[in-house]
Amino acid sequence: MINFLNIFNFFAASGETPAEVACQKGSFFAFPTWYKYLEVDTNYCNPKIDNINDIWLIMLAIVEILIRLGVILAIIFIIYGGVSLIMARGIPEKVNSARDMIIDAITGLVIGLVAITLISFLGKSFG
């Protein structure tokens, strides 16, 4: 799943952010750090907040974390919808409910992946 999410970062702006270079890509379960788009002191891996506009870069990283959480939840709902579809045993109401859940989760997944790509592009462009 982590590699699946990183495929879409390929379409974002190429290259690594300063925080990724200085801090050896410190992330957990494909979640970026809150200081991903900030300049970092390379000796100590400390983010530099030089002006008030850096708050937008922090907010961009936090939004990316939340959207990645939404993508993971969409994947969980796809799996749950698949199990529900199997367990429906041909009952039309349950089959339709499970199918709708899968379609909604796939829609959310696609929207989330596009949003992650857009946010990553913006963060790397302005960071």
Mind listing the pLDDT tens digit for each residue in 49-76? 778 878 888 899 899 999 999 999 999 9
Long-range contacts of 36-43 (CB under 8 A, 24+ apart): 36/61, 36/64, 36/123, 36/127, 37/61, 37/123, 37/124, 37/126, 37/127, 38/127, 39/127
Q: What pTM was computed for the model? A: 0.72
Residues 6+ apart with CB under 8 A from 104: 77
What is the pLDDT, as a whole number, of residue 13? 47
Tracing tokens 């390929």 back to the chain, one arrives at: 10
Work out the number of other CB atoms within 10 angstroms of the CB of residue 22. 20
Q: What is the pLDDT of residues 89-110, one digit of tens each?
A: 989 999 999 999 999 999 999 9
7 pLDDT exceeds 90? no
2 pLDDT exceeds 90? no
